[in-house]
Structure 1
Amino acid sequence: MNTELEFLKKHSLSSLVRRELEKLILSGEFAPGERLNEYALAARFSVSRGPVREACRALAEKGLLDLIPNRGVFMRTIDESNAAALYDVRAGIFASAVRLLATKITPEQLAVLDGLLQGMDKAAATQSLDEYYPLNLEFHDSLMRFAGNSRLHSLYGELIRELHLFRERALLHDGGLAVSNAEHRRIVAALRARDPAAATEEAFNHVLSGKVRMAIPDTHAPK
């Protein structure tokens, strides 16, 4: 029993540290490429290094940190030029998947999307990024899965891992949670109408609006 309690305590503590560290990362506490000091973070959170190490590992898997063997933990570095290019590619892949889905979406799939929209509305009302972001990820992933093109789904997943930091920050800008879900609703409305052209446009614009909220330069703009 004591072993089970220690396991639960350790993992609960790691989760708390992860959430607090994630908040620091998204607030801009650390510079791109900066090395995170495990000892300093452990002291800051009044915990041992174990929960900090677990939190760093989880955030590395999420794409916010880099774990470099024999060197340590570093802030993920993606410059604005690369981020802009990734957003443009993501917009095309996402729009393509939604276009495919518009021709064959089922009532059951629409019900799943409607449930996610409702959950995101509740999270947006309380400005809870912790609640909104997982639902946002699930919404996008559901659209990609429902489209039925495994290649598009795989490519999209690779892009998302690289863009986590930019995407989460975008949702914190200018009422981003409510704006983002309003865009989601327009996508679903076009899907419900089985309108591939409208669905494609809404999906493409949704991704690029996140790019705009982050003030990432338009790679197509005249120089």
Structure 2
Amino acid sequence: MAHIDYYFSALSPFSYLAGTRLEEMAGRHGATITYKPLDIMALFPRTGGLPPGERHPVRNAYRAQDLPRQAKKAGMKLNLKPAHFPTNAAPSSYAVIAAQNAGGGHMGALVHGILRAVWAEDRDIAQEDVIRSCLEWAEFDPALADSGLLSGAETYAANLEEAVAAGVFGSPFYITDDGEKFWGQDRLDDLDMHLSGTL
């Protein structure tokens, strides 16, 4: 059975635009997924990147054109300047970690719900009520927002170190158990072909 390590930031618009295609693909191929939320702002300087606010204006201008195009292609609502960006992604990331450990809900729905809250609903994912509603929507116990904070913080930090060691430099980033790496929601078709053995 194939396995995918999914590294992502809860603040990433490109992870949002991936929707739940990863989960649908994994279902078709019988693959498992480990969700590894990480601190993207800490990842960038360690892997040669810059946060959007520090990038050259021409790069940000391209991003401002490309994101709406990608949203239109995906048929998804996107607010290019969300009300709560950037915000503290750690609390929602801890909730993802706790939910994965607890089981019983739908991880893809949880992750997408958190990302959608930022990029389509203008909600602040640093707020407990927002995190609880995302957990509940994905059929997890909302109380997970309050539990496992210490272990969540430890795993969140460990995910960053694992990502750097594995060659991750952006979000979303997918690594299969045979070492193939795919960066960006626009490489999900390539991942799909790889899992099917055609690429």
Question: TM-score, with normalisation over the residues of structure 1?
Answer: 0.25
The structure number with the bigger radius of gyration is 1
More contact order relative to length (CA 8 Å, sep ≥ 6): 2
